[in-house]
Amino acid sequence: MPAFPRVSALYDRHTALGSDMSSAWNDMAIPQNYATDPYLETTVTRSKAGLIEVTALNLVLVKGPGSLDLLNQMLTTDISKAAPGDSHISNIVNANGGLIDDVLVYMLEPNVYRLSHGSGATAATLKELAPKYDVTIETDDTHVLSLQGPVSLDVLAPHTPLKIAELGYFKHAPTTLFGKSIQLARGGYSGERGYEVFCSRDDAVYLWDAILEAGKPFGVMPVSWTCLDIVRVEGGLLFFPFDMPHPDTTPWEVKADWTVDLSKPDFIGKAALAASKGKERSVITGLEVWHTAAITPGAKVKSDGRDVGVVTSTVFSQHLMKSLAMAQIDKGYTAFGTALEIEEDGKTYPATVVRMPFYDPMRLRTHG
């Protein structure tokens, strides 16, 4: 039986695939592993497509004439630049400019926004700000199925009237899929072309089964959250709060400058962000480690015996045949080719600063 307060409509599908559903995120059990090898799942995602449920994200609807003003006060991006069908990656910072959540904002229609976020302070911030604006905040029980991989377009296109080949990166639109009403968004967390299907709880099982059935000729398979973590590290995609090891990590320190619009009117933390720009203590950095396994997050990064950083996210990539790490590293040690060491359990492993993302550094597979 489900052991966590939030229960996906797909719970039984995941257990049938071999997951014990003992792991959770945001109070929802997730299929951390299936009976299949996550490296096989990764190969399928990279060469064909993998289907993963990501309903464990927190989804919130912000509605009402005050929605834009509330979101622009809360978020670092300028939401007034979004039109219906646009998505914005944004952040929330506190008064000191420290990151307290990352948020994906979907503008559904004027004065209606869907916020997708992880385990940060979005809910608390909305609760604090909402009484000051003419808005309603609704918990969204929408389920999210994410089909990621190079054949995802071919699998879905015959089953929706939407011309999804023309749907731009980070765009979304209402449509039907296999006859069910959905919102279809182009994006994902894999470093591959992909689509996210936002559907009702009642339709989630039907659509899961239909996508897998339509995907059989293409080699599509369900993939686990372990696979998702592998592909997101290979793709250099950050995960709040794991890649923000300091309580006051700023957007500048995770190379999220593009999510901050200092030209818009005042927002929470704006003055602190403006003052901290150019004063980064450390910067998120990619490392290739000379090791046959993944380094443990939290391991120290050193240069000539001196601590210069901390490892945040890691994976041994069978696809690239390399041990990869993201780390927060002192600015003076982040030039490409810089030789460093990783200290883990009394052992030292050579590491080299490399470009991120590790896989598809020009992002041709997601953006093409």
pLDDT tens digit string along 42-52?
999 999 999 99
Distance CA 234, CA 120 (A): 23
Contact partners, residue 44, CB within 8 Å, separation at least 6: 50, 149, 219, 220, 221, 223
pTM, entire model: 0.96
- pLDDT tens by residue, 275-319: 999 999 999 999 999 999 999 999 999 999 999 999 999 999 999
Of 28, 27, 1, 26, residue with least CA distance to 12? 1
- What mean pLDDT comes out for the span 323-336? 98
| Residue found by looking up tokens 């699998």 in the block | 155
Cα 237 from Cα 313, distance rounded (Å): 10
Phi, psi of 197 (to 5 degrees): -105, 115
Nearest residue to 86 via CA among 192, 167, 198: 167
Cα radius of gyration rounded to whole Å, the chain: 21
- The CATH classification number of 11-55+142-234 equals 3.30.1360.120
Q: Report which of 28, 3, 26, 35 is spatially closest to residue 224, judged by C-alpha positions.
A: 35
The pLDDT of 57-80, averaged and rounded, is 97
Mean pLDDT of 324-334: 97
Beta bridge partners of 309: 301, 329
**What ranges do the domains of the chain cover?**
11-55+142-234, 281-366
182-188 contacts, C-beta under 8 A, 24 or more apart = 182/207, 183/106, 183/108, 183/114, 183/142, 184/156, 184/160, 185/87, 185/106, 187/87, 188/146, 188/148, 188/366
pLDDT of residue 3: 82
Contact call for residues 139 and 117 (beta carbons, < 8 A): no
Topology classification of domain 281-366: Elongation Factor Tu (Ef-tu); domain 3 (2.40.30)
Distance CA 138, CA 123 (A): 11
Alpha helices in 79-131 (DSSP H): 122-129
Q: What is the pLDDT of residue 187?
A: 96
Tens digit of each residue's pLDDT (9 = 90 or more) over 127-178: 999 999 999 999 888 999 999 999 999 999 999 999 999 999 999 999 999 9
Cα angle: 9, vertex 146, 360; to 5 degrees: 155
pLDDT tens readout for residues 241-283: 999 988 899 999 999 999 999 999 999 999 999 999 999 999 9
Answer for the pair 160, 77: CB distance below 8 angstroms, yes or no: no
Give the closest residue to 238 by CA, choosing from 301, 191, 184, 180.
Answer: 191
pLDDT at 1 over 70: no
